[in-house]
Every structure is written in structure tokens, then in C-alpha cells.
Structure 1
Amino acid sequence: MKKRFFLVFCLLLFLFTGTVSADSGGGTGSLSITDENRFEPDYYRKPETRYMSQGAGLGRTARAGLDFETYIVEQLQQFSTVIDVSGYGISNGGAGNAFFQVLYNHPELFYVEGDVEWTYNSSGMVTRYHNIKYRDTKANVQRQQKELEAAAEQALTWVDDSMSDMEKALAIHDYLVLNCEYDQERLQSGRLPAYSHSAYGALVSKLAVCDGYSHAYSYILGKLDIPCELVTSNSMNHAWSMVSIDGNWYHVDVTWDDPIWDCIGRVLHNYFLLSDQVISDSSHKHSNWSAGHRAVSDTYKQTFWTGIQSAFCYWNGAWHYARYNGISRTADVMKKQELLGGMEETVHAESSLWGNNGGTYMYLDLDAGKRGIYFNSGTAICRLTEAGTVETVYEPAQSASQYIFGFTIKENQLCYGLQSTPNLSGKQRIYTYPLPEPPAQITGITAENVTAVYDGAARKIQVKGIKTGDTVSYAGADGVFGAEQPEMKNAGTYRVSYKVERNGCEPFTGNAQVVIEKAEPEYAVPKGLKIGKGQSLKEVKLPEGFSWETDTGMKWQETGEVTCYAVYVPKDSRNYKEVSRIPVKLTVTEEEQPDTPPEEENPGEPDTSPGGEKPGEPELPPGEENPGQPELPPGGTPDTPPEEEKPGEPDLSPEGEKPGTLPGADGTEANKETPSYTVPQGLSGHSGKMLNSVKLPSGFVWQTSESTRLWREGSYTYYVKYIPDDTEKYATVSNIPVKVKVTCPGHQYRSKITRTATRTRTGQETFTCSVCGDTYTEETEVYAPKKPKPVTDLKVTGASANSLQFSWKKTEGVKYRVVLYQKNAVISTAYTGKNVYTCSKLKPVVNYLLKVTAYREIDGGKYYAEKEASVRAFTVLGKVKLVSVKNRGSNKAKLTWKKVSGADGYEISMKTGKSGYKKIKTIAKGKTVIFTKTGLKKGRNYSFRIRAFKKSQGKKVYGSYSNVKTLKRT
């Protein structure tokens, strides 16, 4: 039995290419990564947090106090071939997993070979890793590290600080698919290099397989502080990613969004932000993975990007992508200010398509300088300029059956494919054309911010550095440039964009801010106010604009003069400040005073309401649903006997019909006599009813279908038959035309907006009768957009050393502009439809000001609330990381910690045994990171913790306490 177990054990070791040799005093083990075990899920789990056991002595390569993961990373960065791990409690059975979990969770270690050996002691605990190999010389690897960092920085140019985490994840996804190619040729030929499994392969060599794509994605998202982990499936022999967005985990498979043998420039979005359920369904076919998280959210399940096959390029504050328009049969370049939400705008419709190949094969890319959006039609490569115009950059020579299938930009080269079909059976042949040299840059242009107090005059920015012949244009909040600056007259904060255009140069754009502060109002303090003994203050009326600040329930029981306080709110509160604590003299008299305002009233405050405002203008009435087909009117009146028809009504009888014909001309009734009859006159019916509701004289029946519906008012021709009483003698007469007058028993109109009113054009409302279909139209007034109400309940909901989170009350149909300031400088500006916003990458212990303005998007313009909400918030100090506490001599301990950015000093506390913590030292310098504690005794345990502080207004502001480290004196 023991022999059988031993054989099975040896077989398992062989399958996983790990080896173990042992004797009574310990042994050695090893593990190599091969194609058979490369995607073993255990290798990709997050490394277990391990610290050295107390009193463990490590070799010269070890640095005490580091956790296992940090320690191994440091050693591999130093190209160590032997690593002493005797103090970390690594078992022989877990040695391989522990090593590769560190390696695969750090894409920057791409240069370490996938082989490791170790030695363990008689207790089965690993003492060291050895024979660690590297893929190149130290000098070459250091060069490769710089190349990787430069490539990552290039990828990050596709990201903007205003983007959400979801948008950043999309931008990097598209960048990788656009710039990396699946290394299919070398994989098939058995020549696949190890670098193709790494971030270096995907970002620098631009050739990779699935784990290379995934390592690169994780590496870049890590730089953006977006959690991203690798997921593997042994049965699929495949790796992909899981990403955390807004607290929820999602699957992202960059590799499968970059199909094999594909046209360059094509970017799929079928595997972006999927739940466990979706990625495992029959359309996505992922299975048997192992991950540390569950993806249960379907937030992005129905998102429109699944139908987009071009890259999403963020340029000039908007997202651009390509979409096929089946109605106009054009390939369109689309633009959206916000990826999810907001209006979609067509900025270019391309009619030069791809012959009989349906759909669109238009792909987008950005050059390194982001000078425009480049895209291809079927016959040319074009550029969308900052001015919104489209210019043809290059038209390659091509045969009649050839089209441009595939386009991208690589290393200042326009790359494209020329072929007759988009379908490929092998590697695509790529043609190149040098990217045109960028135009000269305009320099020396500046515009200073303007701060002024409201006086009714419009303010303007001054753009300096302009030369003769330059053209300057300006844009306000709507982003539309024009020759005139936006009107900036009322109090508030305005952001002005300016653009300078010069012949032969790239346009220069910049921004400036205009702040108009509220003015002090003019007012006259109310005089001559009186109040009777026992009366409450609320009975004393104040002039317009004034209200009591003193408690209006106040009463006086003695006569004399008293002083109360009032608040003055000017009529134009947008431009004038509210004044409080205004002292007002009040005379208390014996007699009760009438409830009237004072005699003398001369506030003297100018009434300067904002120009052009029309309060109380109605909102655009919502459009009603299509009334559809009219319903039959309920009930109805009985039809009256036929009357004489009025002349002059239209005859709508069909052409070519012969009235009064005898059926059976073939002999069936030809021998019968023709009967005499009188054609029915004066027939009438009601709209909405059927033809059978119109009564005919005796002997006549409808030849036209009786279910024919009577519709619009008018005179109509239908057909009847006359069947005589004696059908043996007389023939039946067909096709007898009769007139029927149709009237509506009572119009029931329903309205529908058939042309929406805008700011410059009247609208149209169409009224349709649901009974008879009669219609008429009326014009609606030019639409004056209603501005939203200001933001309320703005507050700080979270603060850390590098981020602040804010929230406010949500209003339906409203979006928000969020501007963060430090002092008077704008740090960031973002637009969002949510009522929660997080500002990241901030500095510790800094006072920030956030301003939030509500707006509505109407006809492509933004309409802002009259007022903005603002709140101040401080970032806090970072948490100290206590690195180590070491014995020094007979009664000393040396503490080492990491410096906290922005700290003025540190406070150190110590606990002996089970007693509480006591402060033992205040370090007065923020740069100091070492302290030696003396007077320690043997046989006791000492625990230490540290927190940073910063001085502010004579007080100390503290950060959180560090991790605790305990030292045992023996």
C-alpha cells in the first residue's frame, strides 16, 4: 500500500515538473513553468502576507522587517540568484506556489525565468531559494525596464484625469488591442519567446499571447490605482483579467477582443466588463476559472459599445468612435461628451464605403501628439481637425477591387491594409506611409485670470502674445468657439477657453478663469420703528428686503429704546451680498402699535436684475405618444333615410368601371330581362363606422366590402348590386355607383409635437381627430430652456491622504460640473451625471475647495443653474508604515519607519505587556525615520506604534496610527 502511494506521489510531482530530493537532514525541491502547467490557478493568487518569525536570523541578503512579498521583489530587482527565506515559515510543499505568486503579481519582473529551486531543513521548512535565473544580462534588463516604463507612459496618454475608472479601463483596453498583436505565427511554429508571456512583450515588442496581454493590462491599471488581477483556466489554457470598478468586480478579456488574423485597427468590445454569468454563457464560452472575487454585477451588460468595432479615442474632451448608419448607408465618426449618457453627435458621415462588403470597416487612431482623429474610408486615410473639418491625408493607389481594410498609426507611420475582402486566412500584409510632419507650435500665448467685484460691467480676459494676422476665438461653458467672448457680467465663476490660430501652425488653446464677486449693496437702516409693551417683535414690519435676525418672539415690558438686529437681502441677490447683523433702533411705547411699516423708508438699493432673464418661463411641454389609429366612437346615432345629395362633392370612384353592368354576360343571365331601379341618393355615414352601417333601399346590397371603414369627411363613391324580387325573370345588376357623404359625429383631437421648438426656431404641434383623421397644425413658441435649481446638500463623505469624496442631493434630468480648486487655481474639472464624486491624486494635508454646478443639456448646449454649491475639505495625513523594531544591545530597541509625505513630525507610543499605550517620544522633524528607545528590560514584551502630525494654526493634526510591532526582550 505504501509503495502504491509513493508511486502516485512521484507521478504527481512529475506532472507538475517539480522535483524533490530528501535525506534525513532535509532536501531540495524545484518547479519549472511549462506549457502544461502555465495556467495553474494557484500561481496567480494574491501572495499570502508573511512576516519573519520573531528572532529569526536571515543571511546577508535579507532586510529585516519586510513582508515576504516585498522582500522577494527587492531581491529579484537586485538580480539575486540565492535568496535566504529561513525566517518566513515557507513549507516545502508551498515553496513553488509562494515564489510564483509573487512573480506573477508583479508584471515588472518580466525578466525572471520561470524556474526556481529551494532547500528545506529537517522540519520541512524552506531555508533558501537558489539557482534563480534571469532572461538577459543586468545591463540589458535595465535597458528593457526603461523601455517598458516608456511604453506604459505612452499608453497612459490615452487617459485623462477627468475620466472615471470605467472610462480609464476602456481606454487602456482599446490601446492594447490597437497596439499589440497576438503572436500567432511564432506560437504555431514553436518559436514563441518567453517575453510574449509578459507585459514587456505586449507593450514594447507589441507581440504577446493571452497572459502577456493580461500582465500589460494589470501593469497599466496598477499605475492608475485601479485594482486588476489575472484569472486563469487550466482547461481553456487561457488567462484574462478581473477589474474592480466602483467596488464591483468584472471580467475583461483583452486577448479575445483582438481576434487572430484580424484587420489592423479593429477593436472589439465583446469581452469588456462582464459578469460571471455573461462570460460563461454560450456566446462568451469561458469556463473553469479560479479567482479570488465574484463578478455579480451586470451594470454594463447592455452597453452600446458591444456593437462598436473601432477604438474609442478620447480627444478634445470628448469620445470619438465609428458606427455604421444603416439608414443613410454611411460610415459615421461619432462623438460623445460623456461615454454613458449625453447626446451622440455625428461629426463626419463617410459615403465612400467598401463596395459590396456591407457595414463599416472604418477604424480610428490618435497620433502621438494628439493633433487630430485619424480614420480610414474605403479609399483614403483622413484626419478630423480641431476645427471640426475633415482633411484627406493620404490616398493609396489601389485596383478597382481593392479597399482599405484595416488602419492604425505606429511609430509615426500610417499603417493600412489593401485587399478585396475583410476576411483573412493569415497574417495581413501591411503598407505604410509616413505621417505628415506636425505643423509648428504657437508659443508665448498667455491669459491671466480675472477677479473683480460686480458693478454691472461685462468682464473680459486679455490674451497676450498675439501676432498680426492671428485669429482669436473664445468659448464658454457650451464649448462653442466664436469671435466674441461669452457674456461675463453677473457675479459668479466663469471658465473661458480661447483659441489662437496662425497660418502654418497648430492652433493654440488655453483656459482662463473670471471670478466676479458679489458687491456690497446700498441700503438705508430702518428708522422710526415703534412697538407697544407686550407686543412681539414679529408684529413690527420692516421695509422690503429686511427681515429680523433677532428672535421675533421677543417682547418688552418697559418703555424706552432697544436695539435689535436685522438682515438685508437685496432684490438682486445674485450680484449683491446679503448683509446681516444690522443694528436697528426700536422704541417701546405704552400703546400698542399698528401693524404697519415705518414712515421713512428709503433703502436706496439699485434694482439691477440680471439682463436677459425671464423668470417663470415654462418648460417645453412633453411630447405625447402617437395617437395611432383612431378608435370607433362609442354608441352613435342611427342612420337616417337617404336624402338628396348636394352637388359639387368630389367623385372618388375608380377609373375604368362601368356602372350598371349585368353579371353573367357569358349567358348565365344574359337572357333575363333588365329590371328597372332607381339609384340610391342621399346616402350618409359617420366616420369611424363600417360601410354596412349605411342603410340601402330594398333590393340593394353592398358590392364594395361591407367592412370598409368610413374615415375622413367628404363624399365618396362606392358600389352596390340591385337584386330584383323576381330573380327568375329579371337579372341582377352589378357595379352600380352610389355616393356616400361621410361626416364626423364629433371631433376628438389628440395632439403630438411634430417639430420640437428650439432656442432659435418655433415648434409645431399637430392635432389629429381620432375619429375621422382630420388634422390641423399650430406653431409653438420658441423654447426658452429652464435652468435647473442649484445643488443642495453638498458635503464631504470621505477623506484620505490622497483623495476626497463628495456627495450631494440628486435631481432627475440634471448633470453636474465639478471643479476642484487649491487656493485660486483650478486643479481639475469634470462633468458627471452622478451625485457622488471622488477627487484622487491629491496632496496630503491640503485645503481644497469643490464647486458643483447643476446643468441641463438641451440642443447640444449646457444650461447652468444660477448658483453653484461649494464646500471646503482637507486631505489627511497618510498612515505611517512601521518597518521594523530591532534589538540593539542589552537594553535598546531601534525603530524604523517610512516617511509620510507632508508630515512635520511623528509621535511614538509604547505599550509594556498588557498595559495601555503611552507616548514616549515626539519627533520634531518630518524627515526623521529612525528612533532608538533605551531602558528596556529583559523578559518583557514591548509593543510600538507611530503616527504622523502636521502643524496647522498652532495645533497638531494627526494621521492614523501605524501597524503595531512587538519586540520580546530575552
Structure 2
Amino acid sequence: MQQFFRTQFILQGGKGMKGKYFLILCLLLFLCGGTVSASSGGGTDSLRITDENRFDPEFYRQPEARYASQGGEGRSARAGLDFETYIIEQLQQFATTIDVSGYGISNGKAGSAYFQILNSHPELFYVEGSVNWRYNSSGMVTQYYNIKYRDAQANIQRQQKELEAAANEALTWVDDSMSDMEKALVIHDYLVLNCEYDQERLQNGTVPAYSHSAYGALVSRLAVCDGYSHAYSYILEKLGIPCELVTSDSMNHAWNMVSIGGDWYHVDVTWDDPIWDCIGRVLHSYFLLSDQVISDSGHKHANWSAGHTAVSDTYKQAFWTGIQSAFCYWRGNWYYARYNGTSRTGDVLKKQELLGSGEETVCSESNLWGSYGGNYMYLDFDAGRNAIYFNSGTSIFRLEDEKWAEMVYEPELSANQYIFGFTIKEDQLCYWLSNSPNVSRKQSLRTHPVPEQALSQITGISAENLTAVYDGKWKLIQVKGTKNGDYVTYAGENGMFGAEQPEMKDAGVYQVSYKVERSGCQPFQGQAQIVIEKAEPIYAVPEGLQIVKGQALGEVKLPERFFWETDTAKKWRTEGEVICYVLYSPEDSRNYKTVSHIPVKVTVVKEEGPDTPSEGDKEEEPDVPPEGERPGEEKPKEPDEPSGGEGTPGQPDHSPEEENPDTPPGEEQPSIPSEVNPEDTEKEVPSFTPPKGLSGHSGKMLSSVKLPAGFVWQTSESTRLWREGSYTYYVKYVPEDTKKYVSVSNIPVKVQVICPEHRYISEVTRAATRTRKGQETFTCEICGNAYTREISLELPKKPEPVSGLKVTKVSANSLQFSWKKTEGVKYRAVLYQKNAVVATGYTDKNVYAFSKLQSAADYQMKVTAYREIDGGKYYADQEASVKASTALGKVKLVSVKGQGTGKVKITWKKVSGAGGYEIFMKTGTGSYKKIKSIAKGKTVAFTKSGLKKGKNYSFRIRAYKKSGGKKAYGAYSNVKTWKRK
């Protein structure tokens, strides 16, 4: 059957070669070619795309890289843009003339250079297919002019938004986990499902320019071959998959070449869409073919010109060539349909790996298509509802989970009638009822609103926060409470959900959203946090360090990744062993802590030679941690010492506000040994107990923390206490007997910082969207303590159900309804006759009328309010409905003829649905009176007797039917008059 249609269409001049007579061809080429006007100083030329040159391969080559010469003239040379970018920029600004004098384009290349850019950029669909240009005496083009656009600028800008929205709708079929091959497949199937070949207008010669564009294929959903190809290229380029148009002038046809895994393949979306359009059917005969296969006797492509060769036969034996339904990716699996000849069933199948060997039957349907063998079961993916729908021969189903499906609609069928086509469009189940699958003209489709699911809530789902130390392994959250059949996906900061958890291996704080989907339930969404702390690095403390008396410490070389914390300008004048401090900075500073205050022994030795420092050199103070080495650290304040006492500079300040950047809040700084001045070696080291149980309030100074007698703050007393937690500061112990005992510096003590009263202010730190939850952060004004609260998804607000629905006008062939208006709301009105949808309309008004209806017929009208948000429709939870009947038709009075003395016979045409008729008569200029009521709707004649000679009698009739014990009347008939002579 398919080959029959294909052959028929080639003869008619559609997707294949058009019938051309040689003389006509020559004449057309002469008349439709470019026009030239020349003079000794240059001239003009032009090119217009026609049906005869549309598929010239020269117009589809990739644009040549051209750059403005340094000495070029005009704005183009000064712009500094390559030719392709420059032309695109000008066309996007709706320029009607473009200065190209700087690009060195010859007259003979001007037309092809221009159209190569148009055909490489489907987003320029709004530019007319003609161009004029001027060239100078050297034959070089200076200007394109008389550039035209297909609509007004405001309309084009609206169309650009429509194209972008339509492309984004197609991208809802794509999952981030898909390979390039899989993405190319689902976009191929989406286009075949949602675009119809513009066969009707092709046959009568009225194909509009838009049908040759991506806009036609994606927005108007009517296109011819180059429209399909531009749309496919447009979407694949958005996915980062190289895709180009290929044409054959002899075939009068365009298709695509796409690069998958470094190899090029042919894809002909057009020839995979049957003619006439059969909704739901998706062929895969022309998907990812090599040059050899697409040109064989079964595929019949020839004489194309492309910039690539397709030599790979990787997908030559792919199983999809026998599949005539769309491939739908849902909940981590691939779904498609196939006829099982053994069991004579239509099967919905699934695979976890598209090219894997495992194939599982999800459900089988035996309600097939009578005597017609083969498969007419078609699938469609409704991204808005995240559901797959499919048809059997008699019903439409929704896939509920991986093992069963629910019937959602069963249309009324006449004898030997089956569903031979199915898809979803505009929230409607669209289906084709027929006695035969053969399509010889445009299908007459029927529709029914997609039934909304009554979804319950998922409960008992949770995921705990996780805190771990970096170990080089990925960390994962554990979602608890799921059931068999649940589908769990995860999203990181970008809000894009996928089957794999985001990469969480390096140290840091990660927010992970998770979503649980369960059949018959609303998706559950939650969030968990993973904190990966930096690990302690492994290192060897430097040993064997020596320094010569009088030498600066900075001249002592440390092992790699170690740095002096002690002042590198320090010198010593006495021999011996001193303690200095170094810092270790790991190479992987993201995942490992920087370790400070590492004590190392440095031996001060005597230098042999004339450069030994004299005794007059000033000796530096004993070692202390360095100053100015770490941003944010404040030099400790040296306390006043008792008379005769000797002290050393204190340790760096570690206030919560200026803590070591490598130490998280609340984590103690590494403790360091207290220091004693080497010159005090003759004095005794006093015994003391470091202060314990110290505490202070957030917002106060360190000076507010009282120390025991003998201890003074070495950390600056003006240090402000900030966040709650335990922090290490430094004190100095000054003994009472400073002649006998040395003072001890750099004694670490812990101070517990407490906020006396939290006063929180809130700030939305991440706004909620429809796909990602938000976050509100609460921060204490006193201590800086912070916590976060999750903000629910920004779900669109559904409108309230329609109220006040009523019938406002009735006629024999129309019904008008009205209801109460709600601002900012639109309405979907659906008229039913029994269970079948008669008509569907959309309006932003609170009145809607249906016309061209049957007379005396019963109908039910349902109206649902909805809001349009980001291109989607969000409907009220309930619909309003009212029943109504059209009026009886107007009776046609056929004749009034005399039937003997004083008698007249009145005849009329039967009115459909009539239960009877009432006949009225008037005499002369009097009033009408009812003379007869007929109780049978099939009666079409009545004889009136007793009419008097010389009188004029006028007759009229109206039909009626009984409803609820009352009569409903049709309009009065025309009037006929009879005079008895």
C-alpha cells in the first residue's frame, strides 16, 4: 500500500520528481532566472527562488567563510564581522539594503552566497526568496537591495516567538540521558506525528512560502519536504547535533544529513510521513541510512549534492525499520507498538536500552482491525501530562505504569468500523474511524477531550540529609518509601530532572531535588542536602631545618606545598633550637584542608666566615605565627605586662567574623603549643591551668569574656563575637613573680559563643519555578546564624469552574450559550451529541455559539475555564455542562390545491425530528387560526373542506415535538393563498 501511494505521488509531482517537459523547462529557466542590467561602470543583477530552481544544490552548500578586507569600503568592512554573521545580523534587523562592499563577492557568486545563508539558518524563515544586488566595474558586489520580508515586522516578531515555543514543545520529547542517536530519533518521530504533508495545496498549486520553512512544519504543522528538513535541522542544532540540508534537483526534493558519533547519515523525515497523512503512523524506513542504502532500489534517492559522504552502515539492520508507531521515552524506558502475527495481537513493547536485546511486552490488545492483518496501533506522548496514549481497534488507552494500561475513551462505532489512526493534538484525542486503513484523501478526524486523571497524593516518601568527608567517591541520597513501579528522577541546581543523580564527589554543599512518579498519583517532589567536608591531608612535617645566625628565616627553603607562617624576616643571634610555624597547602585545595600552625624545629648554627653578624645586630623576638599571611586575620594586641615581665607577641585573632578561611564555622582551630622566650631559659616555667568554660554573647566584644587572674587576652579584645559555636582564641599567662617565672604566650582557649536572642530576617535566595523549588533563607541579625526553608513549586493557579452556564439562543441549526465572565481566563467549549464530539471552540469571551447543527437534535455543551501560562493551558478542576436541543426546522409549504367543491389539499415537506404539525388558516385579511393539529410527524398532507365561494384563504404550518410534556415549535412555514372561484 505504501509503495502504491509513493508511486502515485511521484507521478503527481510531490515528494519525488515532477513531470517536466524539456521545452517548458527551457522556457521557464529563461523567464525565471536572474535579470541583469549592466553599464560600463557596473550594473545590477537579481535572483528569485522558483519551483524550478528551489532545490539547486548550489543554494544548500555550507556558507563559505568570508571576511572583510582591511582596505574594504563601507560599513561591512568596519563592522569586523564575517560575511555570514553580518548578513544574519542585518536580516534580523529587517534591513532592506545591505552594504557588502568589503567582502570581495563576485557577481556570479552573489545569489548563491546569499541563499546559502538563508538555507543554513531556518530561523530566517521570514525572509522572502528573492534578492537584488549591485556590482561595480570590477564585477564585485557592493550592495544587496530590495530585500523583502513575508510579513510586517510586528507579525514576524510574533511568529519568531511562536517558532521558539513550538521548538521547545518538540524538545519535551528529549531527555538529557539520551544519546545523540536517540535524540535524532525522537525528533524525527515528533515531526512525523505533528506535521502533515501539504498535499492538498500542492495538488492545486497554492503551497504558501511558509510551507517551505521550519515555521510551517512546527507552527502551522503543514509543510512540504524542505519545510520538514528545515524544522529537523533547526531542532537538532539546538541539541548540538550537526545537521544539514541535502537536495536533489532531479528529484525536486530535500532531506537531511546528520552527524552521529562522527559519522554522517541520511534522514528523510518527509518520506517517513505517509501520504495522504495518516495520523499516528510513523515510518522509519529513511532514518540513519548510508549513501549506498538510500540510493538502492528500495529507497530511490539519487543525484544529490552534499558536503559529506555517508559510508557507515551501523544502523542498516536496526529493528526500527519495521516499526510504524512513534518511539516514546517514558520513565527511563522506550515504548513502541508492533503487530504479533503469532498471537494476532497488537502489542505495546518496551526496552530499557533502545538498541539492546531485551524486549518486554507491556500489554496486548486483541480488539484489532477485523480482517485487516498488520498493526494500526499508534502511540503518542503527552509531555504536559507525562503520559503515553495508544489505540486498539476499538478504544483509546493510557499507559498507567510499566505493566498495564487503562481505557480512557471508547467511541461509538458503526458496523465494520475501526480506529485506523490516532494522535493527540491541542488537549484532544484525535482519531480516524474507517472501514479500511487505505487513505485516498484527507482524513476526516474526530476528537474527544483528553480525560483528566483523578490523581491522589503520594505519602511516606523521604530522603535524609547527608554529611560526609571527602574520599573521592560519589555520594548519593537515599529516597525511602518508594514502591515497585515508582519512577524516581533527580535534579541538581539546574532543575533538570533525570534518572541519574547529579555528580556529588568534591567537597561542597549540594542541594538535590528528587521526584517520585506513581501511576494514578500526583508526582511527589522533595529535596535533600549533601555536605561533603574537606578531608585532612596527609603530610610529613619538615625536619632537619637549619639557619645561620643573622640569616633571615625566608632564606630557609621548605619542602613543596609548605609555607612559612613565622615572619620570614626574623633573624637569630644565638645558637640553639627554636620553634617556628609553617602552613601546609595541599595541591587539591578544594577537597583537602589547609593546615596551619604546624610547629617545626629550626636549628640556629654559627656561620664560619667574615659575614657572621656582629653582636650589635638586633635579635628578633621569639617565633610567633606570621602576620599578614592570611586575609581577614587581625594582628593580636600585645597586653601591658607587669613591671619586669617579658612577653611575646600573641597568636593571630580567630574571631568568628575573621576566622581562618580553611576552618568551617564551629570547628576549632588547630591548637599550638604555648611559647616561652628563649632568653628566659634561666627562669622557671610556671604552672598554670588554661581557662576553661569561657563563654560570651554574640554581638559583644571579646573583652566581655572575663579571664581568671594572671591571664590576659592576646587576641585583640576588640574582636567581635559573631556566630554561635566554639572558637579558639589566645591568651597570655603573666605570673605574679616575673623575676622567677617566665610569661607564657599563645595559650589556646575555647570560648563558647551564644546568641542571647535570635532575631531572624528572611530573604528569598532562590525563587521557585514550575520545575524547581525555591529557598527562603532566615538569618539572625545578632549572630548571623542561618537556616533555610523550602518554597513549594510555583504551580500555576487553576481558574475556578465556570458558573451560570445557560442557553441564550436557539434556532434550527444553531445554539448559543453564555456564562459568568472571569477576568484573565479563557474557555474551551465542547459540544457533544450523545458521546461524540461535534465541535470544539476556544474563546476569551463568555458567549459561544455553535452553528451548522442538525435541527431538532439533542446536544450537551461543556465549558471549561483555563489559563495560558508559558505556552501551556491549565484547566479548572471541573467543567460546567448544560443540555440543549436545536429547534425544529422550518416547514416548507409545497402546494395548496383545490380538490372539488369547497375543498383544498395542503402538502408540505417532512421536517426532521417533528412529532406533528399544526395548520393555520386565515380568511381574507382576518387573523390566523389553528384549524388542525396532526399528531404524526410522517404526515405531509391535509385536506380542508367547507371553504366558501369567492373567499381568499391563506395557509401556514409549523412543526412541533413534545419534550417533557410540553410542545416545542419550529418556525412558521411560508404562506400560500388559495381563492375559491
| TM-score, with length taken from structure 2 | 0.47
Higher Rg of the two aligned structures: 2
| TM-score, with length taken from structure 1 | 0.47
